[in-house]
């Protein structure tokens, strides 16, 4: 018989990358009534460092400014560290080229900015719920 602590899990982690002061409402909605710990990284480098130390990373929300070239690199690094992480890319660059590149880097959800914070919370919540359906303890 397995010890009871073998079945306990840490709360899921949601990594939010490249927020600024204007995104405060997004954080409020993401953390509201969600059984997940929100981690914040202001740079791609910080995001990779946090992801490298996190064992329960389930979702990464990347707030992408179209002028920032390192976004697709960041997605590839996050996938290398956590192959099953759900990635939500929020960007105003909803053009065909941006969508094509997002698909090539295996983004799970592409959301056009500006995004309604409540909608983003729903997207993250659904991704967390879907991930939990795939988790099962090994007996």
Chain segment 10-27, per-residue pLDDT in tens: 678 999 887 665 666 676
CA–CA separation, 57 and 82 (whole Å)? 7
Report the predicted TM-score, pTM, of the whole model to 2 decimal places.
0.78
Three-state secondary structure call for residue 46:
helix
Q: What is the pLDDT of residues 28-76, one digit of tens each?
A: 677 776 778 888 888 889 999 999 998 889 999 988 765 566 777 888 8
Within the chain, strands assigned E span 12-17, 36-41, 57-64, 86-91, 109-112
What domains appear along the chain, each with residue ranges and CATH number? 10-130 (3.40.50.2300)
């Amino acid at each position: 018989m397995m010890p009871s602590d073998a079945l306990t899990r840490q709360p899921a982690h949601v990594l939010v990358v490249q927020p600024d002061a204007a995104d405060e409402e997004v954080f409020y909605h993401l953390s509201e009534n969600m059984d997940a710990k929100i981690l914040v990284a202001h740079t791609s480098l910080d995001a990779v460092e946090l992801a490298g130390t996190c064992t329960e990373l389930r979702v990464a929300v990347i707030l992408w400014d179209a002028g920032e070239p390192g976004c697709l690199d960041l997605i590839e690094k996050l996938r290398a560290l956590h192959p099953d992480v759900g990635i939500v890319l929020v960007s105003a660059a909803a053009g065909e080229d941006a969508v094509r590149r997002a698909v090539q880097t295996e983004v799970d959800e592409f959301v056009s900015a500006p995004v309604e914070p409540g909608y983003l919370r729903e997207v993250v919540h659904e991704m967390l719920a879907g991930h939990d359906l795939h988790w099962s303890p090994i007996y």
